Structure 1
Amino acid sequence: MSTRLLFLIPLLHAIATNCFASRQPVLCHDDESSALLQFKKSFHWNLNSCVDPSDYPPKNISSWKVEGVDTDCCSWDGVECNEETGHVIGLDLSSSCLYGSMLSNSSLFSLVHLRRLNLAYNHFNSSQIPSGFSRLSRLTYLNLSNSSFSGQIPSKFSELSKLTSLDLSFNSELHLRSLQGLVQNLTGLKDLGLRYVQISSPVPEILGNLSCLRTLYLTGCGLHGKFPPGIFKLPNLQDLRVVYNPDLMGYLPEFYSSSPLKILSLWGTSFSGKLPDSIGNLNSLRVRSIPPSFGNLTQLTILDLYYSFIRSSNPSSLSCLGKLSKLTSLILQGINLTMEIPSSFANLTQLTYLDMGSTQLMGRIPSWLANLTQLTTLHLPFNKLQGSIPISIFELKKLEILNLYSNHLSGTVTLEMFTNLKFLTSLVLSLNKISFLTKTSTNATQNKFEILGLGSCNLRHFPNFLSKQDQFQGLDLSYNNIRGQIPKWVWNTSRETLKLVNFSHNFFTGFDQHFEKFSWPQLQILDLRSNNLRALPLIPPPSTLYYLVADNMLQGEVSPLICKLSSLHSLDLSNNNFRGTLPHCLSNFSNTLSILNLQGNNFHGMIPQLCAKGSRMKMIDLSQNQFEGLIPRSLSNCKMLEILNLGSNQLNDVFPSWLGTLSELRVLILRRNGLYGIVGSPTTIFAFPKLHILDLSSNKFTGKLPFEYFQSWKYMKKIDADNFTYMLEFTSILSCGFDVPQYYPYSMTIINKGREIMYSKIIEIFVAIDLSSNEFNGKISEFIGNLNGFQLLNLSNNNLIGHIPLSLGDLTTLESLDLSQNKLSGRIPWQLTQLTFLGSFNVSHNQLTGLIPHGNQFDTFENSSFAENLGLCGNPLSKKCENHEQVPLPSSGIKEVQDSWFHVEFDWKIILPGYVSGLIIGVVVGNVVTEKRQCWFVRTRRRQPKR
């Protein structure tokens, strides 16, 4: 018996030891608790630094005790320790309302045992992400999303090889030079979030090798190039979102039946091709039509058909959705419905979220929407809704967001109508025909607005209730009649939260106080265009993405402080009185800047080297300034450039043939400079492949007309006449909690129909060449007839000789033709009378002879179109033709079958054509002046049979 007891003693001792150990856990290491306290002290606690404290309750870091009082950091809020070693292995400070800069020597990086780190939803004051994160080599989870970081993502992030989850999303000032460089060592990644991080590279093929990947979020990253199809076939990928990347191309491959893909979002990209039949293997994709069987999904609570391929004008095609009585969220945005809001939706009484934006809705807003008493969000923007807003809408007591932007709504809305909407924080009525009224005595409202859109609401002054608002994120007062100075209190409104300010298209003259800088540190979009402003603060805050102050009376030089706007996307200073030289730092923006419009100012000096490799620039307009010197060769790095306008400056250079490598360039305007020399031949086979507007007028170019360039310009040939869209740059940014679309229409000024015309928008199908007022010589090639997509052709004021090509009659879309001030001879081809769109025609000051053709548009042209041609006769000139002059050929019922041209030299004589076997044969006879036998010049046309 004693032997047994002796045997149990060691066992009882081990049990007792373990029990004692469990009662006394290992404490936090002193150096780690000290590091955490130092990290805490390096930031301020600011409630406004939390994205949404109501949804993400702040961590109670005030419970972290000072050294010597309670140093066991393992018990602190947000801190996780290893139970055996006491080392800090997890730190969750998400939405802790931290405000301040993250420093490279932060004590955080001494916590080398960290495996999980979450700093999301804080405000790190646009500081850069320190490379010190790479010291935390044991990290498997890292979340820095929504934390106001800026600058380049450190290349050393790729050293965190144990990461399975990385989220840097919603830091719109962050940039990544190479996505491949970031992920090449992160082979164990399961979740990657880079939403709204600006990535200046294509999607690398290597992503298709990350076999563990479950979620991939690349929304709004500015991606370009071709999307690797192998990514779709990753064996564990469930959620793929690459939306809002308009330059990203790709196609959908065949999908396996075992594919785990549940969510696939590609809208806002340039994906093309056929939907594979195997798409049916995926269970959450959009469909081309809504089948009636949708009505059987009675347990469905969320239906998202955002920008799907559905096209319908039949309300019954959506009636089945009225059977889904348990729906809480219905998103139909971007579907082309072209109908009224279906009445069957009145049955969806559980809806809290209804989005039918951009669906071509017509008719009135139905009063029965008041039946949807659970609605918190009602999105109906970008439609064709008419009439007044029904009073019943103001009875939706749970409504938080009401967005009626850009419709045809009318009537009067008063602030008092919103008395019952106590939760309303977002109200957007802009771009309608609504009059918004407030009583002059109204100073405040119970609502604390975050988004307020009162653009084009017939406002004549700032509504007084705005002065008491302190939570604005977006404020739109554009297109109103507000005059005078901007009140002082405006600059104190929502100082810590305001991100979007649009006061454009009013009559502001200035500010009632002088200040050096804007008082909104988080400002992203500032639009003050089309006012009467004479002065502005030097520069907006570094967070600014869109700085638009065009069409004012601003003066002075552009401050070098603009270089601090490291995330700038659009800079529009056009049509002001700015002067001086441009800061050379503009080239630093080439990886972020897409729009640069400085036209109509007094800038001088050399144009800086604007584009570095990887440039994202799409529009550069420096016209109507005093720039001089050479065209900067760095423009060849602007591979995404679509419009380049350097017109009306003092540039002194040869024709920039090297721009022919820019495959996206569509508009090139170099007029009114000192450019010289021979344009010559293209240096590549496919030079300027997309060019369809070229203006080289008023320079000193010599030699032959550059028809060799025209041969490769397929966009100047017949194009889709039904394409009446406008050329613009579209992007979307995350601002104020929404995807905010930004449309910037391209503009230009050219000479059309004899006068200078400003095109505030450029239609996609507009095709024009203006080579006027140069020193081009030689003949106009018959090849010109192949470019039958023209609307405008101006070759005036040169030294051109020879005849007007008959093939000009093939330019059936031509609206303006100017060949004046040359040395052209011969007759005006009767074929030109077939140009039924021709509204402006000028062949004055040439050496033309013979009868002026008549018929169709030619009967509308005045004397000035034909003046100073001594050999011309007939209407509208006073000079009459002799009886033997030829009668013009009939212009109707003639269709060209074949054109065979053999060039010979002879003296012209015309023989009246006769009808031979259904053919009209015009034989030109002349005296051949060469010894060798020549071919006669025969032109054949077939006459349409009479019916």
Structure 2
Amino acid sequence: MSAVSPSSFVNLSSSLTVFSASMCDLHGELPPNIFRLPNLLDLDLQFNDIMVSFPMSNWSKSVESLTLSYTSISGKIPDSISELKNLKILDLSNCKLIGSIPSSLANLTELTRLDLSGNEFTGVLDFRVFSTLKNLQVLRLTVELNLDYNNMNYIFPELETLALSSCNLTQFPLFLKSSRKLGELDLSKNKISGRVPRWFWNLGKDTLFSLDISSNLIEGDIPQFPWKELAVVDLSDNLFQGPLPTPPLPIIFFSAGQNSFSGEIPSSFCKLSSLSYLLLANNNLSGSIPHCLGNLTLLSELDLGANKFEGTLLPLRNCASLEQLNVSYNKINDTFPKWLLEVPSLWSVDLQFNEFHGQIDPPTAPFLASTLGSFSIANNKFEGPLPIPPPTTLFYSIANNNFIGEISHLICNATELVVLDLSNNNLMGTLPECLMSFSKDLSVLNLRMNMIQGVIPGKIARDSKLRTLDFSWNRFEGTLPRSLLQCKSLEVLDLSNNRMEDTFPDWLETLPKLQVLVLRSNMFHGFVGSPRAARPFPELRIFDLSSNNFSGPLPVRYIMKLTTMMNRDQGRGKLQYMGGNGYQDSVMLTMKGLEIRLVKILTIFTSIDLSNNHFGGEIPMDIGSLKSLKGLNFSHNNLTGYIPPSTGNLTDLEWLDLSSNQFIGKIPRELADLTSLAFLNLSENRLIGPIPLGPQFNTFKSDSFVGNPGLCGFPLPETCKSGSRETPPLSILQENDTEHGGWFEWRAMLMGYGCGTVAGISLGYIVLDSRKLERIAGLFDGEGAKMRRKSRRNARRSYQR
């Protein structure tokens, strides 16, 4: 019905009693007169893309059922809804409602079902609003609000379903004591703490079939469950401890993950013949997996990850219905369980971080199950040839094992792959030409830490969805293929520690989503020129060109256009990490003088590393505008001039390494005010004067300053002569910069004059002292005379100071 306009409903007959158009793909705005049809009893428009505006008055008095879930209702629930005196069912779940829940709902005394879940209500809700709803059978308030449930001594004798998820509850509601017909209870995602009260275990003994108290702060052990009809139990993400409780026989779904349960899985679990889902990850469970679990023929998902299980997986070989198996992060010592090859419904296998060993035989077609979608055996001790995933696989990780040999072209038959991680093995040879283009959905390709050689294949699909490309720590050579420009979704490109021999790939600057560019430890060479785009690398946050053969001036034009590093507030709030599709991005960087692998990359992390090259020139005064920068490393280059005082504006800076250059002058006093600075290396330069004192500077050892014969003061043994000033003098160039609105703007102005494009571009790269300024300015007649006079005035001022 997508072609039908809801505005046509304005002509509905006044005699209409039932109007049901759920899931009909309706679009547009619903006319409010539909709520005024005099004989309407039942209106059901759920799951449509329509805008609904409630009338402010004159509702139909006849309506008994109003179901508008998963539509878009503008604004708040009006108080006038209380005119629906005969209303029994009100379902406004997931409708983007805002504001407070109106107290006028108390007038709808005939209500049996009320669902306001999944909206954006705010404020404090007085639970007495519902005290008059004696006929209520279903109440769902899974919303982010504060629930005032003081003196909850109300009686809901007919209540069968109660969902108070995400309501900031701090204890179990006392009114539950009177609910003798309760069948479904959801108190998840609250702040309930302490032990489960005794009266709770008497709740709905013969009626309760679904219990969800997950994501709270509940502690203590749990006795045997008293409920006879319980089919769904979720205790996950709490503080429970002690032995694992055994649920009753009807159980279908049992989740107790992310607690502190200990001991072995009780043998009584083997009697749960109806069990389909058993989720026990992230506990302290130990021992062997019980053999009798293999008798659970209906078991569909088994999650035992992040425990202390030992032994083998042999007990599970009879689980013919198994679809998902997770035993990761345990101590299981076994060869590859070949019985997995015979499970016809198997979709997901996660064996990572155990002690599996041996070969997977045969490697070319190990899986008979054509349904396999996810396969992770990373961080084990498997060896032999690389196993090839079946064509249906979406996620495939065999990282951190001992697989050997070449990557077979047969891997390209897995055309549905989204994540392919073959990192940290002993793979060698060259890459099959198809590897960069075989899957239209490939998002992650990680070959890090192998011995693969040759050139990177240039065949890349035009609509490539590659997000992460990590070829670091291999033996790749040659140049970077320009076909990478097809990867408009690329966020991480890591080619570090290879033998790539190329100039700076400035054409990458147009990739709109690139956040991490690491080219360290290769043989890249030549100048890093000016960007071609107005906003190059618009999302770049990690820029690492270290340990190459780059030369020429410091690439100031690129550095000062890294706009993502200028917004200090970007990404603040809840911590987020780079990654997706079940894969976590990581990168190796030099941080605080050490090579460190970030196993997770925070989206607010920013760093620049241009160390161990042959860059020259000065650090720009505008460096202080990179306010979100965490790390800056320009060490082991040929940089000259003064350390700009504007580095004191880098208030988030945690490490700064300017060692082994030719910096002169004094250490800026402003650096001592950086409260986040945990690592500093200014050694092997030509700095002079006293070392500034400050809370962070006082923690640095002499290693941070050695090799500067003119430096004095703590922590060096050389004491300073009396009368020494701590404030470093500004160079004439820097004073000119201040007067002309900044170093970058001044050079841009200078480029506007003179003898054509070549001269202009050259001047844009070169950092000039005052004498060179005068010579060049002399080329520009009248403007040159003005500039000479100003330069001399500034020189006299500097001398007088």
Shorter chain as denominator, the TM-score bin is 0.7 to 0.9
- C-alpha deviation, 1:611, in angstroms: 4.2
Q: Taking structure 1 as reference, are residues 443 and 356 closer, same or farther at Cα in structure 2, changes over 3 Å only? A: closer
Take 1:433 and 1:715, find their aligned partners in 2: how far apart are those partners?
43
1:264 aligns with 2:70: yes
Q: Taking structure 1 as reference, are residues 321 and 683 closer, same or farther at Cα in structure 2, changes over 3 Å only? A: farther
**Equivalent of 1:400, from 252, 259, 263?**
252
Matched residue, 1:831: 670
Matched residue, 1:656: 505
1:680 aligns with 2:529: yes
| Larger CA deviation: 540-549 vs 703-712 | 703-712
Q: Taking structure 1 as reference, are residues 300 and 621 closer, same or farther at Cα in structure 2, changes over 3 Å only? A: farther
Matched residue, 1:502: 350
| Larger CA deviation: 619-628 vs 818-827 | 619-628
- C-alpha deviation, 1:583, in angstroms: 2.4
**Equivalent of 2:624, from 785, 795, 816?**
785
Matched residue, 1:68: none
Matched residue, 1:865: 704
Matched residue, 1:115: none
Take 1:577 and 1:265, find their aligned partners in 2: how far apart are those partners?
54
| Larger CA deviation: 634-643 vs 410-419 | 410-419
Residue 203 of structure 2 aligns with an amino acid whose one-letter code is N
Report if the CA contact (8 A) 2:657-2:680 is conserved.
yes
**Equivalent of 1:689, from 528, 535, 538?**
538
1:77-111 Cα offsets, whole Å, 9 max, x none, are xxxxxxxxxxxxxxxxxxxxxxxxxxxxxxxxxxx
**Aligned counterparts, 1:588-667, within 5 A:** 588-589=437-438, 591-609=440-458, 611-667=460-516
Q: Taking structure 1 as reference, are residues 360 and 746 closer, same or farther at Cα in structure 2, changes over 3 Å only? A: farther
Take 2:414 and 2:504, find their aligned partners in 1: how far apart are those partners?
33
Report if the CA contact (8 A) 2:288-2:312 is conserved.
no
**Equivalent of 1:424, from 254, 275, 281?**
275
- C-alpha deviation, 1:595, in angstroms: 1.8
Report if the CA contact (8 A) 1:240-1:264 is conserved.
yes
Residue 564 of structure 2 aligns with an amino acid whose one-letter code is Y
1:907-932 Cα offsets, whole Å, 9 max, x none, are 9xxxxxxxxxxxxxxxxxxxx99565
Where 1:604 maps in the other structure, the secondary structure is strand
Residue 149 of structure 2 aligns with an amino acid whose one-letter code is S
Report if the CA contact (8 A) 1:301-1:329 is conserved.
no
- C-alpha deviation, 1:778, in angstroms: 0.7
Take 1:666 and 1:938, find their aligned partners in 2: how far apart are those partners?
46
Take 2:393 and 2:154, find their aligned partners in 1: how far apart are those partners?
42
Q: Taking structure 1 as reference, are residues 566 and 819 closer, same or farther at Cα in structure 2, changes over 3 Å only? A: same
1:891-944 Cα offsets, whole Å, 9 max, x none, are xxxxxxx9767889679xxxxxxxxxxxxxxxxxxxx9956564548999xxxx
Matched residue, 1:452: 302
Matched residue, 1:758: 597
Where 2:547 maps in the other structure, the secondary structure is coil
- C-alpha deviation, 1:728, in angstroms: 2.9
Take 1:617 and 1:361, find their aligned partners in 2: how far apart are those partners?
43
Take 2:181 and 2:359, find their aligned partners in 1: how far apart are those partners?
48
1:2-29 Cα offsets, whole Å, 9 max, x none, are xxxxxxxxxxxxxxxxxxxxxxxxxxxx
**Equivalent of 2:203, from 349, 364, 371?**
371
1:581 aligns with 2:430: yes
Report if the CA contact (8 A) 2:417-2:439 is conserved.
no
Take 2:379 and 2:77, find their aligned partners in 1: how far apart are those partners?
49
Matched residue, 2:266: 415
Report if the CA contact (8 A) 2:77-2:102 is conserved.
no
TM-align CA RMSD: 4.1
Residue 482 of structure 1 aligns with an amino acid whose one-letter code is I
Q: Taking structure 1 as reference, are residues 557 and 888 closer, same or farther at Cα in structure 2, changes over 3 Å only? A: same
Report if the CA contact (8 A) 1:618-1:642 is conserved.
yes
Residue 763 of structure 1 aligns with an amino acid whose one-letter code is L
Where 1:859 maps in the other structure, the secondary structure is helix
**Equivalent of 2:657, from 813, 818, 832?**
818
**Equivalent of 1:800, from 617, 639, 650?**
639
Take 1:824 and 1:609, find their aligned partners in 2: how far apart are those partners?
43
Residue 486 of structure 2 aligns with an amino acid whose one-letter code is N
**Equivalent of 1:479, from 317, 321, 329?**
329
Where 1:671 maps in the other structure, the secondary structure is coil
- C-alpha deviation, 1:870, in angstroms: 1.9
Take 2:470 and 2:673, find their aligned partners in 1: how far apart are those partners?
37
Where 1:712 maps in the other structure, the secondary structure is coil
TM-score of the two chains, using structure 2 as the length reference: 0.72
Q: How many residues align?
A: 659
Take 1:422 and 1:347, find their aligned partners in 2: how far apart are those partners?
33
Where 2:483 maps in the other structure, the secondary structure is helix
Take 1:542 and 1:385, find their aligned partners in 2: how far apart are those partners?
45
Where 1:856 maps in the other structure, the secondary structure is coil
**Equivalent of 1:523, from 366, 372, 392?**
372
Take 1:844 and 1:343, find their aligned partners in 2: how far apart are those partners?
68
1:714 aligns with 2:563: yes
Q: Taking structure 1 as reference, are residues 239 and 301 closer, same or farther at Cα in structure 2, changes over 3 Å only? A: closer
Where 1:414 maps in the other structure, the secondary structure is coil
Could you tell me which runs of 5 or more consecutive residues in structure 1 were left unpaired when the two chains were aligned. Answer: 1-163, 165-185, 191-211, 218-229, 243-252, 267-274, 732-741, 890-897, 908-927, 941-947
| Larger CA deviation: 619-628 vs 834-843 | 619-628
Q: Taking structure 1 as reference, are residues 507 and 901 closer, same or farther at Cα in structure 2, changes over 3 Å only? A: farther
Take 2:303 and 2:405, find their aligned partners in 1: how far apart are those partners?
32
Take 1:629 and 1:847, find their aligned partners in 2: how far apart are those partners?
39
Take 1:434 and 1:607, find their aligned partners in 2: how far apart are those partners?
46
Report if the CA contact (8 A) 2:75-2:97 is conserved.
no
Take 2:425 and 2:638, find their aligned partners in 1: how far apart are those partners?
38
1:511-534 Cα offsets, whole Å, 9 max, x none, are 586564123221111111211111
- C-alpha deviation, 1:592, in angstroms: 0.9
Residue 500 of structure 1 aligns with an amino acid whose one-letter code is S
Take 2:635 and 2:249, find their aligned partners in 1: how far apart are those partners?
68
Residue 546 of structure 1 aligns with an amino acid whose one-letter code is F
| Larger CA deviation: 568-577 vs 815-824 | 568-577
**Equivalent of 1:544, from 393, 402, 412?**
393
Report if the CA contact (8 A) 2:691-2:726 is conserved.
no
Could you tell me which runs of 5 or more consecutive residues in structure 2 were left unpaired when the two chains were aligned. Answer: 7-19, 35-43, 56-65, 82-90, 122-142, 226-232, 234-245, 729-736, 744-767, 772-785
Take 1:346 and 1:544, find their aligned partners in 2: how far apart are those partners?
50
Residue 455 of structure 1 aligns with an amino acid whose one-letter code is G
Residue 714 of structure 1 aligns with an amino acid whose one-letter code is T
- C-alpha deviation, 1:472, in angstroms: 0.7
Where 2:663 maps in the other structure, the secondary structure is strand
Take 2:151 and 2:378, find their aligned partners in 1: how far apart are those partners?
42
Where 1:776 maps in the other structure, the secondary structure is strand
Seq. identity, %: 32
Take 2:511 and 2:502, find their aligned partners in 1: how far apart are those partners?
19
- C-alpha deviation, 1:369, in angstroms: 6.0
1:854 aligns with 2:693: yes
Q: Taking structure 1 as reference, are residues 581 and 905 closer, same or farther at Cα in structure 2, changes over 3 Å only? A: closer
**Aligned counterparts, 1:288-299, within 5 A:** 291=101, 299=111
Residue 331 of structure 2 aligns with an amino acid whose one-letter code is N
Take 1:844 and 1:792, find their aligned partners in 2: how far apart are those partners?
17
| Larger CA deviation: 388-397 vs 612-621 | 388-397
Q: Taking structure 1 as reference, are residues 475 and 865 closer, same or farther at Cα in structure 2, changes over 3 Å only? A: same
Matched residue, 2:520: 671
Take 1:698 and 1:899, find their aligned partners in 2: how far apart are those partners?
34
Matched residue, 2:128: none
1:120-178 Cα offsets, whole Å, 9 max, x none, are xxxxxxxxxxxxxxxxxxxxxxxxxxxxxxxxxxxxxxxxxxxx8xxxxxxxxxxxxxx
Q: Taking structure 1 as reference, are residues 316 and 377 closer, same or farther at Cα in structure 2, changes over 3 Å only? A: same
Take 2:795 and 2:77, find their aligned partners in 1: how far apart are those partners?
60
Where 1:486 maps in the other structure, the secondary structure is coil
Take 1:377 and 1:766, find their aligned partners in 2: how far apart are those partners?
43
Where 2:646 maps in the other structure, the secondary structure is helix
1:366-405 Cα offsets, whole Å, 9 max, x none, are 6736735555555566665544444227454432112233
Report if the CA contact (8 A) 2:77-2:101 is conserved.
no
Where 1:785 maps in the other structure, the secondary structure is helix
Matched residue, 2:312: 462
Where 2:664 maps in the other structure, the secondary structure is strand
